[in-house]
Amino acid sequence: MELRSRLSRSWLEPSCRSAVPRRESRPGGHSCRLRRNSGFTLLEVLVAVVIMAVIMTTAFGALRLGGRSWEAGVTRATGNERFRAVAGLLRRQVSQVIPLTWPGDTKKRIAFEGASDQLRFVSPAPQQHRQAGLFEYGLSAQRDGPETNLILSFIPFNPDAEAFQRPARHQQLLLVAGLQRLSFDYFGSPAKAAVRGRARASAPPPSWHQRWDADAQSFPDLIRVRMEVNEGQQPWPELYLALPAGGSQ
C-alpha cells in the first residue's frame, strides 16, 4: 500500500521538466524549480557569425593590401636594380671611347656614328670578357611589335676596316625590353674652330643634335638616352653618358 501511494503521488505531482512554472506549491505537494538549459540562442549565434565575418573580411583585406604592397616594392626594387646595371654598363663603356679615325685617302672620318635610333663607337673589351683589345659597340632601338627594345651589339675591332662591321646575331645583347620609345641625342660642336690667316674663326657653340655623322671634326661631349615606358610601368630617368675628355680627339 505504501509503495502504491508513493507511485500515485509521483505520477500526479508536477515534474521538474515541465515547461509551466509554478510560483507557489500546493499544500502537501512537491515543489520544484525550473532549470534553464545551457547554450546560445539563435540570435546570439547570428550575431557571433556576423562579427566573425566582419573580422575575417577585414583581415583578408589587410592581407591582400600587404601582398600588393610587397609585390609593388619588389617590382620597383627590381626595376631600380636593372636601371643601375644598364646605366653602369653604358657609362663604363662610353667613358672609355677611343677617339680613332678610319683609314682612307679621302676625308678623315671619326670612328663614331650617331643617329636618333642608334649609335656606334669603339671602346675596350668589357671587364667580364676574357678577350683583350678593342671592340666595336652599337646601341640600337629595335622594334618588336608595338614595343621597342634596347639592343647592345659588340664585335672585335678590325684595324684594317674602313667602317663599322655588321655584328652577328650572337653578338647582340638585350638590355631593356618593352619600351614605348627610345631615342639618342648628342651634345657638342661637330665642327672645330678654323684658322683663317692670322685670325681664328670661332667654332659654333655646342648644342644638342639628333645626328652625329662620321665626317664630324670632333666627337660629341655628351650622349643623352631617353627611354619612354608604356602606361603602368616604372619610368626610366634620362641617362647622360659623358665621353672622355669631352669627346675631343
| pLDDT tens track for 189-247 | 887 644 444 445 566 788 999 999 988 889 999 999 999 988 777 788 899 999 986 55
Grid cell in block for residue 241: 653618358
Alpha-carbon gap, residue 112 to 160, rounded angstroms? 16
What is the three-class DSSP state of 141?
Answer: strand
In this predicted structure, the answer to whether residue 76 has a pLDDT above a threshold of 60 is yes
Beta strands in 98-233 (DSSP E): 101-102, 109-110, 112-114, 118-124, 134-144, 147-156, 172-188, 195-196, 199-200, 207-209, 222-229
What is the three-class DSSP state of 106?
Answer: coil
What is the three-class DSSP state of 42?
Answer: helix
In this structure, are residues 241 and 225 in contact, taking their beta carbons and an 8 Å threshold?
Answer: yes
Nearest CA to 241 out of 94, 117, 48, 51 is that of 94
Q: What pLDDT, in 10s, does the model give residues 80-92?
A: 788 888 889 899 9
For the chain, the domains span 91-191+207-247
**What pTM does this model have?**
0.66
CB atoms within 10 A of CB 131: 8
Alpha-carbon gap, residue 111 to 99, rounded angstroms? 7
